[in-house]
Amino acid sequence: MSDKYDVIVIGGGPGGYAAAIRCAQLGFKTACIEKRINKQGKPALGGTCLNVGCIPSKALLDSSWKYHEAQDKLAVHGIEVGKVKIDIAQMQKRKDEVVLQLTGGIAALFQANKVTWLQGTGKLLANKQVEFTPNGKDDTETLEAEHVILAAGSVPVNIPPVPLKDDLVVDSTGALEFDSVPKRLGVIGAGVIGLELGSVWARLGAEVIVLEAVDRFLPNVDTQISKEALKILKKQGLDIRLGARVTGSEVKGKKVTVSYTDGSGDQSETFDRLIVAVGRRPVTEDLLSQDAGVSLDERNYIYVDSQCRTDVPGVYAIGDLVRGPALAHKALEEASMVAEVIHGEHTQVNYDAIASVIYTHPEVAWVGKTEDEVKASGEAYKTGVVPFAANGRALAAAEAEGMVKFVVDEKTDRVLGMHVIGPQASELVQQGVIAMEFGATIEDLQLMVFSHPSLSETVHEAALATDYRAIHIA
Ligand code: FAD
C-alpha cells in the first residue's frame, strides 16, 4: 500500500508535533509518525519533553519546593504549619495527571488541525519514501511525501561502568518515578538534568551526592554565576564533588556502590538509589536506511544547514537530532521555521538568542555570551552586575539570593549576554532575549521605566550598572 502526503514528520515531540501542526496550518496534507507508548500503556504524543522531560521534572520540582517551603521557609513570615508530611504517591499522581493533560492536548490539536497521527515507527528510505511499522505489528507500509521532517529526538546516554538496574540505578526517566525518598541518593553528572532531579529528592529529605567528572561547575555558564550557583546549592545540602571520574559500580541487594577517582585518589560511595545523568544522544539508529542519503556530523547528529535542510533535498531534521542546544523551545522554533521554509517563506531561527534555564531554586538562566567568551574574543566590553539583595520585591518575598549580570559590547553598546541567578530567572531572562532579538543597546534598557517594586527592576539596575548609573548599589 502506498499513501502520499505533502509532509511526513517522524517523531511527535516538541519538534515533531509543532512541525506537523504548523505544516497543517499552512495547508499541507500532513502525517506525524510517533511510536511512544506511555506508562499507562497508551500511544502518546509530546515526546521526551511532555512525557519524561521538561514537564514531569518541573511538576516534581514545584511539588518538592512547596514541601521544602512549608517545612523551612514559612516560619520567617510568621506562619506555623506544624509537622509537614510528603505523600509521594500523590505527588507522582499529580505529575502523571499534568503529563496526561498536556499530551492529550497535543492529540486534540492534531485532530483540530487534521494532522494524521500514525502510531508506530518511521524509517527514512531513499527518495523521500518512509517505511511505517504500526505499533504491535511486523508488517510495514511504504509512505510517500514531498517533504520529510525528521524529529526523532534524543535518549539518555548510558555509561559502561554504571549499567542501569531496575529502579536502583536509573536514568532521568527512572528518576521521575521513585516511589519513596531514597535515604542516600547518588547522581552522576552535575548538568542541568542531574541538578534538577538531585534537587527534587534533596528537598524531600534525601542525602544527595553529585559526582561530576569535569573540574569546573557548569562550564557553559558565566563564571560569576556558576560560582554563586555552586555556593547556594552546596548550602542547600547538595554535596557536589567536581573532578570525580566514575570508574565502576557494584550492586549488592538494594544498594549500589560507585567507585570513582578524584584528586585524592580512589574513592567509593554507597547509595540507596543512583541516577545516571551524563547527557543525551540523538536517536539516529533505525531511523535511516543505508541508502537514505542523509549525512551525520562528527558527533552523530544529523547534519543540517542553518535552515535545518539535510543533504537530501526535501528532507529536514530538527530538535535534539541536530546541532545546537538540546532544548524544547529550540526544537519548537526549528519546527515552525522548517514548515515555513517548505511553504516558500524566508524564515530563520536566531540561534544567538536562545535562553537556557536550570530550574533549581533559585533558578539559573542565561542568553548570549558569557564574560569569559567575550574576553577571549578580545572585544572591548563592559559588565553590569546587581544583586537581588538590592531589590525591594525580592526582599519582601524573602527571595533575595542571586544577581543579574549584563555583558555589553563597549563600542556598539549592544547586549551580548544576560545572566541571571535568582528568583524567576527563567522569566527574567526573556527580557534579555527580547533585547537581543531587537538588537537593543544597553541604553535602550536603561531608558525604559520598570514597575516598582518588581524583580525586573534588578534587570534595569544591572543595565544601568554597566555605565555606573545604578541607584541602589554602592
Ligand atoms: P523528543 O522530545 O525526544 O521527541 C522525539 C520523539 O520521537 C519521541 O517521542 C520518540 O518516541 C519519537 N521517535 C523516535 N524515533 C522514532 C521513530 N523511528 N519513529 C517514530 N517515532 C520516533 N528542555 C527544555 O527546553 N526545558 C526543560 O526544562 C527541559 N527539561 C528536561 C528535563 C529532562 C529530565 C529531560 C530528559 C529533558 C529536558 N529537556 C528540557 C530537553 C527536552 O525534553 C528536549 O530538548 C526536547 O524534548 C527535544 O524535542 P524533540 O522533538 O527534538 O525530541
Burial of residue 263 (CB within 10 Å: 0-12, 13-18, 19+) is: exposed
What residue type is 278 in one-letter code? V
Give mean pLDDT, residues 148-162: 97
Other Cβ atoms closer than 10 A to 416? 25
Q: Which of 17, 52, 54 to mutate to test the pocket of ligand 1 (most atoms within 8 A of CB)?
A: 54
**Could you tell me the pLDDT band of residue 339, with boundaries at 50, 70 and 90?**
very high
pLDDT in tens, 372-428: 999 999 999 999 999 999 999 999 999 999 999 999 999 999 999 999 999 999 999
Helix axes 88-113, 54-68, angle to 10 degrees: 150
pTM for the structure as a whole: 0.97
Q: Looking at the predicted complex, does its ipTM rise above 0.90?
A: yes
**Could you tell me the pLDDT band of residue 196, with boundaries at 50, 70 and 90?**
very high
Give mean pLDDT, residues 7-21: 98
What residue type is 204 in one-letter code? L
3-class DSSP assignment, residue 121? strand
pLDDT in tens, 358-381: 999 999 999 999 999 999 999 999
Give mean pLDDT, residues 320-345: 98
Give mean pLDDT, residues 207-213: 98
**Percent of residues, the chain, with pLDDT higher than 70:** 99
Q: Is the pLDDT of residue 128 over 80?
A: yes
Q: Which ligand 1 atom minimizes the distance to the CA of 49?
A: 43
Q: Which residue's CA is the nearest one to ligand 1's atom 22?
A: 11
What is the C-alpha to C-alpha distance for residues 472 and 149, in angstroms, rounded to an integer? Answer: 51
CA–centroid distance, 54 to ligand 1, in Å, is 9
**Could you tell me the pLDDT band of residue 1, with boundaries at 50, 70 and 90?**
very low
> Which residues does ligand 1 sit against, CB inside 6 Å?
10-16, 33-36, 47-49, 53-54, 57, 121-122, 151-154, 172, 193, 283, 286-287, 319-320, 326-329, 331, 359
Q: Which ligand 1 atom minimizes the distance to the CA of 15?
A: 51
What residue type is 319 in one-letter code? G
What is the C-alpha to C-alpha distance for residues 297 and 471, in angstroms, rounded to an integer? Answer: 50
Q: What is the pLDDT of residue 235?
A: 95
77 is catalytic: no
Let me know: does 191 contact 279? Beta carbons within 8 Å: yes
Q: How many CA atoms lie within 13 A of 127 on its CB side?
A: 4
3-class DSSP assignment, residue 329? helix
Q: Which of 68, 77, 419, 452 is catalytic?
A: 452
Q: Which residue's CA is the nearest one to ligand 1's atom 27?
A: 54
Q: Which ligand 1 atom minimizes the distance to the CA of 18?
A: 51
The residue written with cell numbers 535542510 in the block is 309
CA–centroid distance, 282 to ligand 1, in Å, is 10
**Percent of residues, the chain, with pLDDT higher than 90:** 99
CA–centroid distance, 49 to ligand 1, in Å, is 5
Q: Which of 22, 49, 321, 367 to mutate to test the pocket of ligand 1 (most atoms within 8 A of CB)?
A: 49
Q: Which residue's CA is the nearest one to ligand 1's atom 32?
A: 53
**Could you tell me the pLDDT band of residue 2, with boundaries at 50, 70 and 90?**
low
